[in-house]
Amino acid sequence: MKKYIISTLKLVMIGSLLISCTDDFDEINTNPDDIGSIKIETLFSKATVGVNSSSFVAYYDINRFIRPWMQQHIYRGGNAVDFNEIGANSNGIYGVYYNNVGKYLAHIPVAISKYEDKDRYVYIEKIAKILDVYTAHTVSDTNGNMPYTDAFKAAEGNLTPVYDTQEQLFSTWEAELLDAVTTLSASQSVSQKNYGNADLYYGGDVSKWIKAANTLRVKLAMRLMARNPSVATGIITGILNSGSLMESYQDDWALVSDPDHTSHGNWFNGGGVAFSASKSIMNFLNDNNDPRRPIFFRKSSGGLWAGATASPDEAADEVANPEFDSEVPNDSLVSPVQERLWRSRHNYGNGNGSGSVTFLNVTYAELCFMRAELAQRGITSENAADWYNKGIEASIMTYDKMGMTAQVLDYSTSITLSDDIIAYQNSVTYNPAIGLEQIGTQAYLHLYSSPFEAWSNWKRTDFPMTKTTPSTDTGVLTLEVVVGAGNVLEIPRRAYLQLADEISLNYENQSTSMAQMQSDAEFGGAPSNFWGRIWWDKE
């Protein structure tokens, strides 16, 4: 992973990152030629930084919506009775792709086509496509259909892009990733150009990109299991039998930022709002002495490792839950989050930090847990327990590296870390009878710093499960049943979408796309019904 001075590319919060950004087709069909003569290497770096460029997404989508829903953290004063509803300023990830990533990547093949030595840029073009697929899939995970194959074609006179259905998208992405892997794995007749230091992920290491692309293929195929299991199984078994995949946490597809990239408040506690551990996650970490606990959270000022209820109604009972009593210093009873994991300049009272935040895209630990799940489901003949334990070790090593890089408070690599990992694995010993729940628990914990993926993985697997009484099974974490104003509050499953505006240039295609999604009863009818399901999220 490469460190990059992202502060030079800071972006202001703009209206295109609001819900209404999904109707901004001037941006969606940006003419790549308008980018001018920017070097290809710079375009790729800009796109790379663009993936994680929005403090607006961090402020709203991540910290005020997804993470509280998934009980990764709670509002310090308790969650509001409507905290599970999607408000304004959500779905900023849509604008991130079209405004900050896709338009740069789309220009790369356009520029290459004009070079006399274009045959030396084959690898560069395919690596750009891998990043494009990754970023686009994060948009579709929350929005469903989206312009993709028709996007960024203004130079060809196309100002009204057709929306790809999600089923079409997954087919297209598998074809593009397979083509990228095949091309990158083959020798070329001429020497190939390399991104070098402009590749902020892998420094131009083609072998790492092949592993990343194949691992992403497995992840996308897993999303197809509920809709088209035969296709998904065919893709996955083909990759496992012949593909080059991530082999350790050192292969993680991740970006280490400059400290100033996340230096302002919007990246975490903007507006003075603070967050604490939920009791669901903290109780599990405590019960099993999880080595990741001091990286996720820090002790309360009273020296406690403690979480609080995510349920608004329960939080209202200050006698039973004194941590929410306005007369009691909250910090003394509940563990705050480790702010520097997200905002490396955070000042704990002893000066600003100088570490760096790590943004994870796709990781080896995720692959391990997917392979464990596939084995447990009988789809492969691999050993589920082995991959489960490999995933745990990889996750702990990834977070150890992230914690040290971010200089989180009161954390340093334990000289007994290898022994700590073994002790933890013994505490959550794999049991095939509850294997899927255990795998889901560890995937949930590993995705603590990847909230969008944690949300998607919960939708795909239904783990962790929500139960009134916490599970007593070894190695199983359950989420708390959350009640507000006497009603059980459900976790949203997709973005708050809007009906097409009749004055929109692309009204016909927007309307056709929405009608196609609404034809599926599980979509939930109204575009604004964020408890409805996108195509792959089949019940």
Q: How far apart are CA 372 and CA 383, in angstroms?
A: 7
Calculate the average pLDDT of the chain. 91
- Which among 283, 328, 340 has a CA at the least distance from the CA of 307? 283
Contact 50, 101 (CB under 8 A): yes
DSSP 23-81: G-HHHHT--GGGG-S--HHHHHHHHHHHHT--HHHIIIIIIIIIHHHTTS-EETT---T
pLDDT at 24: 41
Question: Does residue 271 register a pLDDT over 60?
Answer: no
Question: Does residue 23 register a pLDDT over 70?
Answer: no
Q: pLDDT band for position 369 (50/70/90)?
A: very high
Neighbours of 521 (CB within 10 A): 10
Alpha-carbon torsion, ordered 525, 231, 140, 458, to 10 deg: 80
Q: pLDDT band for position 29 (50/70/90)?
A: low
Question: Does residue 11 register a pLDDT over 50?
Answer: no
3-state secondary structure string across 388-435: HHHHHHHHHHHHHHHHHHHCCCCCCCCCCHHHHHHHHHHHCCCCHHHH
Cβ-Cβ contacts under 8 Å for 289 (sequence gap 6 or more) = 420, 423, 424, 427
Question: Does residue 341 register a pLDDT over 80?
Answer: yes
Residue-range domain boundaries for the chain: 251-298+336-481
Q: pLDDT band for position 482 (50/70/90)?
A: very high
Q: pLDDT band for position 193 (50/70/90)?
A: very high
Classified as helix, coil or strand, 530 is: coil
Neighbours of 376 (CB within 10 A): 21
pLDDT mean over 315-341: 81
Handedness of CA 444, 438, 536, 234 (dihedral sign): positive
Note the pLDDT tens digit of each residue in 105-140. 999 999 999 999 999 999 999 999 999 999 999 999
pLDDT mean over 490-499: 94
pLDDT at 77: 86
Task: Provide the CA 282 distance to its chain's centre, in angstroms.
Answer: 21
Q: pLDDT band for position 306 (50/70/90)?
A: very high
pLDDT mean over 331-348: 89
Q: How much of the chain exceeds pLDDT 70, in percent?
A: 91
Residue 326 identity: S
pLDDT mean over 491-500: 94
Taken as a whole, the chain contains a residue count of: 539
pLDDT at 263: 82
pLDDT mean over 525-538: 97
Contact 47, 105 (CB under 8 A): yes
pLDDT at 31: 58
Q: How far apart are CA 373 and CA 461, in angstroms?
A: 10
Task: Using a cut of 0.85, tell me whether the model's pTM lies above it.
Answer: yes
Alpha-helical runs (H) found in 101-228:
102-112, 122-143, 166-185, 206-223
Q: pLDDT band for position 332 (50/70/90)?
A: confident
| The two three-digit tokens of residue 234, written as one number | 């065919």
Question: Does residue 274 register a pLDDT over 80?
Answer: yes
Note the pLDDT tens digit of each residue in 94-113. 999 999 999 999 999 999 99
- Which among 74, 53, 62, 71 has a CA at the least distance from the CA of 11? 53
Q: How much of the chain exceeds pLDDT 90, in percent?
A: 79
Question: Does residue 6 register a pLDDT over 50?
Answer: no
pLDDT at 259: 87
Q: pLDDT band for position 276 (50/70/90)?
A: very high
Q: How far apart are CA 194 and CA 176, in angstroms?
A: 20
Q: How far apart are CA 64 and CA 50, in angstroms?
A: 21
pLDDT at 10: 30
- Which among 124, 136, 139 has a CA at the least distance from the CA of 202? 124
pLDDT at 535: 98
